[in-house]
Amino acid sequence: MTPTSGETPRLELRGLRKYFAASGVLAVADVSLEVGAGEVVALIGENGTGKSTLMNLLFGVHSPDAGTILVDGTEVQIRSQQDALRVGLGMVHQHFELVPSFTVAQNVLLGREPRRLGFYDDAAAERRVAELAAETGFTVDPRQVVRDLPIGTQQRVEILKSLAADARLLILDEPTAVLTPSEADDLVLRVRALAASGRSVVFISHKLPEVQAVADRIVVMRRGRVVGEFARGEASDAELARLMVGRDVLLTADRAEQAPGAPILELAGVSVPPGADGSTGLDDVTFSLHAGEIVGLAGVSGNGQDELVEAIAALRTPASGTIRLDDVELTRRTPAGARAAGLAHIAGDRMHVGLNRLATLEENAVSTSFTSRAFARAGVIRRRARRAFAQRLIDDYEVRGAAPGRPVGSLSGGNLQKVVIGRELHGSPRVVLANQPTRGLDVGSIEFVHKALSAARAAGSGVLLVSTELEEIMALSDRVAVMFDGTLLGPFPRSELDRERLGRLMTGGAAATPFPLADPASGGLR
């Protein structure tokens, strides 16, 4: 088990335990773990398996009920992120902790700024950050303002922050979730380089390919326990997935070849002007969706996907162009009218748009159809029918922890999404709009969503799947389109695309830039 036998591990956890009395959950159950100097350890597991709690114990957010933390062989007490940093543990969160209006240098050296004559010494700070960036390979321009930087670069700033504080062990929490494929590849290289320079890295992720690429060792957690530990190359993706979920998981969707039917959704020249808040508009989008096919819509988020989905769902009126579902012109419909025409919408924001968290499950289940004859008679709700429908939804979709009369707010993300999908796919819709349907879900729930979308396709629905996860797009789609800066590229048959080509399309065509440069016109006043 000990990777570098004989040497003191950089970080050692001995029997860490955390029990949350309020919820009665044993979140971390006697976890022991070692990370050696210069080692990259990947920590994988579904959401809610205790990874975050474990990290929170390391950073003083919670204190352990039992167990000890040793850094370089010395037991340490950590009560805050500052304590952690003092002993050399640096954390890069999923949401970056940066000050948007500060420069890179000011952010990296926040709290430890160089001073001259009592004033903040920008020049010295920039010099130091530039040196650090050159040394570690996380190249950034120290003078740029963080707000103007792409997410991938912001992440580098965040990593540099820890490095500037002399962190000898970095914890990266789902670091690739926000990156484009090429940025993710680059990050893997940089992490390896960090390890080569003697720093240790804990890499939290659920994307198995990158985990396999980056880690010296892979630790799998389930239900608060370490359930497996493998050296690089020891375990296959399938094995790891089975350990994480506790059963076999289909990593590629099971899809029968199927000839697409007639076009059912046709967009012609749809344009939406860019919003004042900096949102991308749509520029002359034309494509059609056929019955019985899934069209994947890839792209870095914020390139117009939400606007496109909203336009089709009649939540947003395009400035020009037509959107026809069969023979119905959707641009002149209300959202309810679009639904009546056979549109189902799995909203990207299930917490606020897809569901009403304060309402009960049965109210949510019929919220798009409560005026239909099935649930209402002469304007009066048929409670029994509604309850029966909700119960069937719970049973069919295995919504755990749910009851028809209880508010849905207490359900986990995966179960919330099951409620949405159960509602939307009921009654064989003609067109299914699925906007980021697996965002934030764990492996088991993702599998469920994929199955549900494939089933809709098999039943003859046309599915538009918007996702930032390339694996998902590639696994499910018959054809793939890419959104970039409000323009739709494609759709292309899936067979014509590979990861690299998709990555290039997502970043603005054939350009060699690894990620798009900020458009100066949209920078606005500062």
| Interface with other proteins in residues 329-368 (CB under 8 A) | 351-352
Tokens standing for residue 63: 């204190």
Q: Does 512 bind other proteins (CB under 8 A)?
A: no
Size of the site for other proteins (CB under 8 A): 85
Contacting residues for 415 by C-beta, under 8 A, at least 6 apart: 399, 400, 401, 402, 445
User: Which one of 56-64, 130-138, 337-345, 474-482 is the stretch in contact with other proteins (CB under 8 A)?
Assistant: 56-64
Contact in structure between 351 and 416 (CB atoms under 8 Å): yes
Tokens standing for residue 491: 């759709």
Of 2, 7, 32, 115, which one interacts with other proteins (CB under 8 A)?
115
Of 22, 256, 378, 512, which one interacts with other proteins (CB under 8 A)?
22
Return the SS3 of 246: coil
**Strand (E) positions, 238-330?**
263-272, 282-290, 294-298, 320-325, 328-329
Contacting residues for 154 by C-beta, under 8 A, at least 6 apart: 96, 98, 146
Distance separating alpha carbons of residues 413 and 420, to the nearest angstrom: 11
For other proteins, the closer CB: 1 or 276: 276
Closest separation in Å from C-beta 47 to other proteins? 5
Site for other proteins in 228-247 (CB under 8 A): none
Q: Does 144 bind other proteins (CB under 8 A)?
A: no
Q: Does 444 bind other proteins (CB under 8 A)?
A: no
Site for other proteins in 177-206 (CB under 8 A): 177-180, 183
Closest separation in Å from C-beta 358 to other proteins? 11
Closest separation in Å from C-beta 86 to other proteins? 9
- Among 370, 361, 369, 367, CA closest to 393: 361
Of 335, 337, 412, 501, which one interacts with other proteins (CB under 8 A)?
412
For other proteins, the closer CB: 165 or 365: 165
Contact in structure between 51 and 221 (CB atoms under 8 Å): yes
| Residue found under tokens 């205790």 | 50
For other proteins, the closer CB: 246 or 523: 523
Contact in structure between 41 and 232 (CB atoms under 8 Å): no
Of 269, 302, 337, 444, which one interacts with other proteins (CB under 8 A)?
302
Contact in structure between 325 and 354 (CB atoms under 8 Å): no
Closest separation in Å from C-beta 277 to other proteins? 5
Closest separation in Å from C-beta 7 to other proteins? 30
Q: Does 70 bind other proteins (CB under 8 A)?
A: no
Contact in structure between 456 and 425 (CB atoms under 8 Å): yes
**Angle subtended by helix axes 181-196 and 122-136, to nearest 10:** 90
Of 29, 110, 130, 328, which one interacts with other proteins (CB under 8 A)?
110
Of 1, 5, 6, 95, which one interacts with other proteins (CB under 8 A)?
95
Q: Does 50 bind other proteins (CB under 8 A)?
A: yes
Contact string (CB under 8 A) for other proteins, positions 476-495, x = contact? --------xx----------
Distance separating alpha carbons of residues 90 and 159, to the nearest angstrom: 8
Whether omega for the bond prior to residue 209 falls within 30 degrees of 0, making it cis, is: no
The arrangement of strands across the sheet holding 89-92 comes to 89-92, 169-173, 200-205, 40-44, 217-222, 225-231
Distance separating alpha carbons of residues 294 and 118, to the nearest angstrom: 62
Site for other proteins in 28-47 (CB under 8 A): 47
Site for other proteins in 267-286 (CB under 8 A): 274, 276-280
Closest separation in Å from C-beta 365 to other proteins? 20
Q: Does 97 bind other proteins (CB under 8 A)?
A: yes
Tokens standing for residue 428: 């064989």
Of 150, 260, 292, 437, which one interacts with other proteins (CB under 8 A)?
150
